[in-house]
Amino acid sequence: MCGIVGIVDAGGVSLPLYYALYALQHRGQESAGISVFDGDRLRKHKGPGLVAEVFDTETLKGLPGEVGIGHVRYPTTGANTPENIQPFNFQFMGRSFAIAHNGNLVNTRELRSAFEHAGQIFCTTTDTEVIATLIADELRRSASIEDAVRLCMARLRGSYSVVMANEGALYAFRDPLGIKPLCLGTSPGGYIVASESVAIDALSGHLIRDIAPGELVRINADGISSTQIAIANRVAHCIFEYIYFARADSIIDGVLVYDVRRTIGQKLHEEAPVEADAVCPVPDSGTAYAIGHSQVSGLPFLESLIKNRYMGRTFIMPTQVAREQAVRIKLNPIRKHLEGKAIVLIDDSIVRGTTSRRILQLMRDAGAREVHMRIGSPPIKAPCYLGVDMPTREELIASTRDQDEVCASVTATSLHYISLEALVRAIGHDCDNLCTGCLTGCYPVPIEGETARARVVDFVDDTFQLNLDSFGGTT
């Protein structure tokens, strides 16, 4: 998970970076950071917590400059410790770099261990530092940063969308499978690259396009240049971005997330119609699905659970009793909308099943007669190794239970998961161009210890081509 942004803007970048990170806050709440090049050196400010907790007017004033990057973190590789907070600034051969990454490498261990055996020390436990080290390593024998990134990409396996500031230029690149999103747009006086288009909207900019899988973009005061570094025979956009992770108002790889969720809601009714009094979302991620359902089922869209939006990560829950109480503080049922009613309840996904079980209890306590759960994703059966924080297989409720058993376990009246076919059709990309690892156990890159293999599992080694002669193109 994590959100990244890079901005080149003649009007200064610290405030636009702050606004963009605010728009990407849903992608990570553990920490936030900004690095800015002021024409002479890199300055940074970062810390644990939400964007609004980490930055204030003074800290932003202390970050002057026209090129910078930012990051919000949700840890997948590396513990949530101060040294792991991004962006990372580093010096190499007299040059200053700042780097931030969204994704998860699957060959971190071997890369890191090779460096360590050569005497390299690391300051963090993140895979991002491994990317930075690889770039520095390749810079020793490269004529340009583009060359170093090209050679670095040939050694990376897994998902990576990266922004990097080097003196007056911003670099942004995306893995050859395009697993995690990255898009390009305008800022008031320049350009922005960000995980999601909502960050561009926050600056009143225009979405230009997505960064292509395997592409490297360089932006400086003179404009944009692009290099297609790696060419693959497929892409593997993360399907979970559309289901849950991205904001509904983002356009990811050409597709408005809200449209996907609304269409899935419609299909949920077509696949499993049920007589009920109303359709209700689990806020907020179930809302677009429930609206779609209501449009075709004719059932009134009726909110019956209201979410308290101000429960941050600092909410104190010292005991199990307090944790139970926290559910009531986070979600409050509207008794009048539930008493004696049959409800279609829509959520984006069931992961462990804990949330659904608690919500169903709340709704029954508030008088609901029947609760028919409809889920916007197929059953989540396998862990994610490519950037979404998912529990182990043992903790995933659907890894060992069929639909009826999950229904009984969460105590719903009935349960239906959207079919994979309908989900893929709602997204509009070919199934082979999506990463469905968490749903199918088939991953687009080989994962050590995983046995389920898609036709694509050998893809990276067999068909990964480096386009060595393509430097210098311009978008």
Give residue number: closest CB to ligand AMP. 351
Would you tell me the crossing angle of helices 257-271 and 420-427 to the nearest 10 degrees? 150
CB count, 10 Å around CB of 452?
A: 13
- Judged by beta carbon, residue 8 or residue 386, the one nearer ligand AMP is 386
Residue 354 in the binding site for ligand AMP (CB under 6 A)? yes
**Exactly one of 85, 350, 373, 418 binds ligand AMP (CB under 6 A); which one?**
350
For ligand AMP, the binding residue among 102, 187, 195, 285 (CB under 6 A) is: 285
Contact 252, 242 (CB under 8 A): yes
Rounded Cα–Cα distance for residues 300 and 131 (Å)? 50
- Asked whether position 264 contacts ligand AMP by CB under 6 A, the answer is no
* Residue with Cβ nearer ligand AMP (42 or 410): 410
Q: Break the chain down into helix, strand, coil percent, rounded to 5.
A: 35, 25, 40
Judge whether 38 and 44 are in contact, CB under 8 Å. no
Confirm or reject binding of residue 352 to ligand AMP (CB under 6 A).
yes
SS3 150: helix
With contacts defined by CB under 6 A, name the span among 85-93, 154-162, 218-226, 348-356 that binds ligand AMP.
348-356
* Catalytic (active-site) positions: 2
Is there binding between residue 433 and ligand AMP (CB under 6 A)? no
d(CA 179, CA 253): 10
Instruction: Using CB under 6 A, pick the residue from 346, 351, 359, 366 that binds ligand AMP.
Output: 351
Smallest Cα–Cα separation from 9: which of 60, 69, 91?
69
Question: Which of 64, 353, 367, 446 is in the footprint of ligand AMP by CB under 6 A?
Answer: 353
Does residue 132 contact residue 92 with C-beta atoms inside 8 Å? no
Q: Does 138 bind ligand AMP (CB under 6 A)?
A: no
Return the residues of window 225-244 that contact ligand AMP according to CB under 6 A: 244
Task: Provide, rounded to whole angstroms, the least separation between the CB of residue 75 and ligand AMP.
Answer: 11
Residue in 347, 360, 416, 444 binding ligand AMP, rule: CB under 6 A: 347
Question: How far is it, in rounded angstroms, from Cα 175 to Cα 173?
Answer: 7
CB of 282 to ligand AMP, least distance (A): 6
Q: Residue with structure tokens 């970062």?
A: 46
CB of residue 74 to ligand AMP, shortest distance in Å: 8
Residue 29 contacts ligand AMP per CB under 6 A: no
State the minimum distance, in angstroms, from the CB of residue 353 to ligand AMP. 5
Contact by Cβ (8 Å): 242, 260: yes
CA atoms of 210 and 161, how far apart (whole Å): 12
CA distance 48 to 19: 17
As a whole number of Å, the end-to-end CA separation of the chain is 28
Least distance (Å) between residue 401 CB and ligand AMP: 13
Instruction: Establish whether the linkage from the previous residue to 284 is cis, with ω within 30° of 0.
Output: yes
Enumerate the β-bridge partners of residue 231.
465
Q: How far is the CB of 409 from ligand AMP (least distance, A)?
A: 11
What residues between 381 and 400 interact with ligand AMP by CB under 6 A?
A: 388-390
Q: Which residues, 36 to 75, sit near ligand AMP by CB under 6 A? A: none
Question: Which residues bind to ligand AMP, rule: CB under 6 A?
Answer: 244, 285, 347-356, 388-390
